[in-house]
Amino acid sequence: MYLHWFLYKASGITYFFTSSLTSYYSNITNTIIITMSTKRSADETTDATTDVVDQQQTNGSDDSHKKQKSEVARTSSKLEKLAQVKKDLDVKEWSSNVTLEELLTSLLDKSERDAFFVADIATIIKQYQKWIKHLPHVTPYYAVKCNPTQGVLKVLEALGTSFDCASRNEIETVLNLGVDPSRIIYANPCKQISALKFARLHNVKMMTFDNVSELEKIEKFFPEAELVLRIAPDDSKSLMRFGTKFGVHIDDCSDLLEMAKEMNLKVVGVSFHVGSGCFDASAYDAALEMVKSVFDMAKTHGMTLNLVDIGGGFTGSDDVMFGKFTDAIRNKTKELFAPDVRIIAEPGRYFAAMSHVLAVTVISKRIIKQEDNRQHPRRTSNNLRQYNYYLADGVYGSFNNIQFDHAKPTPCLLKPSHKQPTPCTLFGPTCDSIDVIARDTQIPELKIGDWLYFKDMGAYTMASASSFNGFVPPPIYYYCSEIDTSDL
């Protein structure tokens, strides 16, 4: 086991870092260079691990050796791919001796911008390891919409995850990574005809549907598609509820299945999404019971379903909650479905949320006016001033998660301060007054040029950022903190 870890570390190479991200990120190129000692190449790694297994093969049964050998081959192929991704993205090593604040501080001079992201790809790898440990029987199809940057996509591709795409563009982006079309689910129940044609052209067969007109469209433009019926579960235990927009009511499933059969369309399974930001494991229990009843309905129509798609909604940061979700899913899927039924999921924030930290500078500051409209400071009851701070990124940019994702980003000071916290409001840089990041919060007094940082900014942030007022989304600098990859 530790051999792999050693080999992985040993296969370190000079890392270059070039981010070419989708949409707004396509024009941003970061070049930060770090060097690591080149002890062995990735190719050598494969040979070495294979040798070890060959030696061991003399001692045990053929079957277990074959299995072991293929696991080792899989692991070393993942490590090789990760090594390549690190090269492509110019990922720099992040030593455990360096704190987050020290790392961010080291970038201040190098970054010509007033805001930037640091992405730690080890965080994504660790989430993958946790997934495999808790849900080994559930194949993750990463929800690209959550964070479509090249960094996240390439790391997940190297790890062997599949992908949930919602549009032609997302499908194209994922195919361009070299992903086989069988590793994509087109998981938007309402698809554009042009995108359906594109999916057919590229053999992206698996797709969700939840209504009659979608069936008619698919019959006409992609009759060989493999369909997954999206049902509407109880989504009351999630922050973002999708039930009013997507998913067929359980009472209408039978009719839809029958229609699909009459159209000679192939329905392979059932999907649901408990809603994004789910906070109650029982939501998965109830949804899986619904899926089972649709499987039974399908049988009465002479159809055999063999796929369950449990959607997204998984928390990234709360291990206790994730443990509860995964316990529920493991037990329920085992109880309800035969072992040959494929279980897949569409996690988004689970992989992306914790991987990015956003650093932002104070670009302007105002002592808030008294009612007489003069510019001198107002004193609060405990005799403190109040300030407005204007930051280099706001709700039209990375902080759109406040509007769209119910996020409440917590500001952290990059430089510790001994000053007493004072009441303040944090605004974004645009001319719009709704551009507010945090209202009536408490921070020790800041001056222009000071930096704040915000953790857990990887999900639904840059994915939907605009360049309103000409403020372009911040660049991303990639790092890899220390990680044990022996169980990949």
CB 346 → ligand PLP: shortest distance, Å? 4
Q: Report the distance separating Cα 462 and Cα 133, nearest Å.
A: 29
- Among the options 165, 253, 278, 431, which is catalytic? 431
Q: How far is CA 28 from CA 21, 120, 269, 314, 353, in A?
A: 7, 18, 40, 30, 21
- When the beta carbons of 164 and 170 are compared against ligand PLP, the nearer one is 164
CB 53 → ligand PLP: shortest distance, Å? 36
CB 300 → ligand PLP: shortest distance, Å? 27
Scan residues 133-152 and list those touching ligand PLP (CB under 6 A).
Answer: 143, 145-146
Does the footprint of ligand PLP cover residue 314 (CB under 6 A)? yes
Tell me if residue 15 falls in helix, strand or coil.
strand
Active site residue 431: yes
Scan residues 21-80 and list those touching ligand PLP (CB under 6 A).
Answer: none
Does the footprint of ligand PLP cover residue 214 (CB under 6 A)? no
CB 331 → ligand PLP: shortest distance, Å? 21
Between 342 and 381, how does the x/- string for binding to ligand PLP read (CB under 6 A)?
Answer: ----xxxxx-------------------------------
Cβ atoms within 10 Å of 4's Cβ, excluding its own? 22
Q: Report the distance separating Cα 267 and Cα 285, nearest Å.
A: 23
Amino acid at 7: L
Count of residues binding ligand PLP (CB under 6 A)?
Answer: 16
User: Residue 417 in contact with residue 423, Cβ under 8 Å?
Assistant: no
Stretch that binds ligand PLP, among 74-82, 90-98, 199-207, 341-349 (CB under 6 A): 341-349
Does the footprint of ligand PLP cover residue 273 (CB under 6 A)? yes
Q: Report the distance separating Cα 387 and Cα 108, nearest Å.
A: 24
Burial label, 416 (beta-carbon count in 10 A; 0-12, 13-18, 19+): exposed
Stretch that binds ligand PLP, among 50-58, 219-227, 311-319, 420-428 (CB under 6 A): 311-319
Does the footprint of ligand PLP cover residue 311 (CB under 6 A)? yes
Q: Report the distance separating Cα 169 and Cα 358, nearest Å.
A: 26
Q: Indicate the DSSP class of residue 426.
A: E
Does the footprint of ligand PLP cover residue 170 (CB under 6 A)? no
Scan residues 171-190 and list those touching ligand PLP (CB under 6 A).
Answer: 187
Please give the structure tokens belonging to residue 303. 């159809």
Q: Which of 458, 386, 456, 461 is closest to 428 using CA atoms?
A: 461
φ/ψ bin of 299: left (φ > 0), alpha (ψ from -120 to 50), beta (otherwise)? alpha
Residues belonging to the active site: 431
Binding site for ligand PLP (CB under 6 A): 143, 145-146, 164, 187, 273, 276, 311-314, 346-350
